[in-house]
Structure 1
Amino acid sequence: MNLKGIYPLSTIVFVAGCAAIGANQLEQHYGKAQPRERVVEELPPQTIDYWSTVKPIVEKRCVVCHACYDAQCQLKMSSIEGIERGATKAQVYNGARIKPAQMTRLFEDARSTAQWREMGFFPVLNEHDNTAAANREAGVMYQLLQLKLDHPLPDTKLLPNSFDLSLDRKQFCPKPETVDKYARKNPLWGMPYALPAMPAPETGVLMTWIAQGANYLPRAPLEPIYQSYIDRWEEFLNGDSLKEQLTSR
């Protein structure tokens, strides 16, 4: 009997089964997951404001790895829309493919969080019942920040061999229902990955904002002075010259 193909298949079934169990447990505790509107017209008292408090920390600590089109797990944290969109295991660049890839351009290829879910993106923020417990337990972003606090980097000159920093390294993109398994298998892989923990006040701001529901006020309109600059850049990046096309890429 040929057993070569059985073990990979059994592994896939086992992993899928574990994910299903995790999803069911979250649903039993916190209700069914579904994308929800996070924009609010007014923040309750004592609620952390994304634009003035959270965004500067994200830009200083997170976007160095999570900003490009091909960011790890396609988690683009350079905008609140990218955080809401979440992550996916699908790779932007795959030199082995022979068919066109599905485009996943933020602001272009989907217009809502629900549409991104249909395209295979999963949340890094809680989408179950909006409670503090659910926001912590079912929030991948929260869990990975907590993992770094629970398991800081060892005080050594070199990183342990468990860290893979190669350009073509395998992507690990835990979902809400699999982040526990990820943490048990890779206790040192909290965020930020392969770096020391952020200062406690900054970590506290991010985790508190997530626990509060990760809501945010509507984006403020741009001041008129910036519109002329935007028009110039859009004209340049949409130009036909080789220089314009190369820069746009």
Structure 2
Amino acid sequence: MGEPNPTANAEEATEKLTTPQAPPPPPRLVSLVQPSQKKKQKLKVFRVFRSVFRSFPILTPVCKFPTPSGGLPDTHRTSGTRITGTLFGYRKGRVSLSMQEAPKCLPTLVVELAMQTNVLQKEMASGMVRIALECEKRSEKDKIKLLNEPLWTMYCNGKKSGYGVKRDANDEDLNIMELLKAVSMGAGVLPGNSEVEGPDGEMAYMRAHFEHVVGSKDSETLYMLSPEGNNGPELSIFFVRI
């Protein structure tokens, strides 16, 4: 056996050190912006006005206004704030809800619901979906904002489905919101992660305008707004403390 050649070993090591390494892939740029504070300030002023208004005595009007046919007056149409809501998920995975001030803004809330995406699609095909997310009331010292609650018991059309979980928006959520930044309303599919979900793993989504109504500190509701003249499916999502 020949003696080791230290010169050759040194040259090989030097060559390895000087060989350029492939640079890591650049991170995906997210151009979503922070929500504005103007609407929050307007909402705070509205709540103060509402609390003052409730302190006045209730007066019964002489004339009675007609009630729309089909149930209670549609009063929430004039008292809420319009936001962008997106339901998205792999067809055989759990569906998530994202709330944004506008499509160009970062999500203000992401909740992973206790329902598979394909099951929600079937429910939506029936024409009416009512999702209730309930949590228990806290003591006053432990009180947090309603939409900051971490865990919810979920009901869909009156049937208990499991638990909804609030989470921070992850990279995949932000990537989806970035891809849908130019979409104000619509539904479709996006390419999925084939390494995780397989070759058929498509990401289904449905985006619409929702009216966000704050009933009290223990009750908030999202009403999906359909385009004018479109008798599409109805979707309401209720957040409540009981």
Q: TM-score when scaled to structure 2?
A: 0.20
Task: Report which of the two structures shows the higher radius of gyration computed on alpha carbons.
Answer: 2
Higher-helix-fraction structure: 1
